[in-house]
Amino acid sequence: MSAPDTLVRLEQTIAARRGADPDSSYVAKLNAKGLGKITQKLGEEAVETVIAALVEDREALVGEAADLLFHLMVLLGTKDVPLAEVMAELDRREGVSGIAEKASRKY
């Protein structure tokens, strides 16, 4: 099982649960609370991932990284940004110096 396959399945699961009952689905509950709550949770998970990395606890880092990816996928789904579009952007950047790529950005 590859990472992209896992993320594609996660994207499908999140899409299927967005309209579910918020009492039975965490994804539906986040969506019901709106974009502000979704972005707040993503920020919290990002901070927790950084903390786990700094304290050098591998198990915690793996768990927090999974939470971070999950919440990023929820946000992307809410904003109707398909994973394929993000992957295409990563493909476009492949082999390009990070410094050169950043300098070429329009935003």
The per-residue pLDDT for 94 is 83
The pLDDT tens digits for 68-101 are 999 999 999 999 999 999 999 889 888 867 666 5
The label of the residue with tokens 């939470």 reads: 67
Domains in the chain: boundaries: 3-104
pTM value? 0.85
The label of the residue with tokens 């986040």 reads: 30
* Confidence check: pLDDT of 103 > 70: no
In angstroms, the CA 23 to CA 84 distance is 30
The CATH T-level fold of domain 3-104 is: Helix Hairpins (1.10.287)
Residue 67: closest CA among 34, 86, 43: 43
Which of 5-9, 17-21, 41-45, 91-95 has the weakest average pLDDT?
A: 91-95
The pLDDT tens digits for 35-75 are 999 999 999 999 999 999 999 789 999 999 999 999 999 99
And the tokens for 72?
Answer: 């990023």
Residue 73: closest CA among 45, 94, 54, 97: 45
The per-residue pLDDT for 56 is 78
**Which amino acid does the sequence have at 74?**
V
The per-residue pLDDT for 4 is 77
* Residue 21 host element (H or E): none
The per-residue pLDDT for 26 is 97
